[in-house]
């Protein structure tokens, strides 16, 4: 996203840097299997050029996973709208349910930590 107005652009950049630095601090003290881990971050001012964050690598985002699930459902149900591979559709449903449970578990943990 490109912002033309220089004042709006610098405000947006400052807000993004601040949000990222705060999130890095929060995530560095949280330990949960469904929350990405911060492995390290620069001990300098986040607004300096040397600030960095080292995090676990995510293969896909939740949005990408949802898109893939939708593609798989279409592939499994075919043109008629009737599922011809019940076992595969059941496995997909179980995968989605486990993802929802993992997300709920992570949110519950974050809320319990205030």
- In this predicted structure, what is the pLDDT of residue 44? 80
Of 86, 67, 68, the residue nearest 76 (C-alpha): 86
pTM flag (> 0.75): no
Domain residue ranges of the chain, discontinuous segments joined by +: 1-58, 59-114
pLDDT in tens, 3-60: 677 777 788 888 888 888 888 888 888 888 888 888 888 888 888 778 888 888 888 9
8, with CB counted inside 10 A (0-12, 13-18, 19+), is: exposed
- In this predicted structure, what is the pLDDT of residue 107? 92
């Amino acid at each position: 996203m490109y912002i033309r107005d220089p004042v709006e652009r610098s405000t947006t950049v400052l807000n993004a840097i601040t949000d990222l630095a705060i999130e890095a601090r929060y995530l560095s003290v949280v330990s949960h299997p469904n929350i990405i881990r911060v492995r390290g971050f620069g001990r300098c001012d986040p607004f300096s050029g040397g600030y960095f964050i080292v995090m676990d690598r995510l293969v896909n985002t939740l949005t990408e996973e949802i898109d893939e699930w939708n593609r798989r459902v279409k592939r499994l149900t075919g043109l008629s709208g009737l599922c011809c591979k019940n076992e595969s559709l059941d496995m997909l449903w179980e995968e989605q349910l486990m993802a929802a449970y993992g997300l709920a578990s992570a949110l519950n943990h974050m809320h319990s930590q205030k």
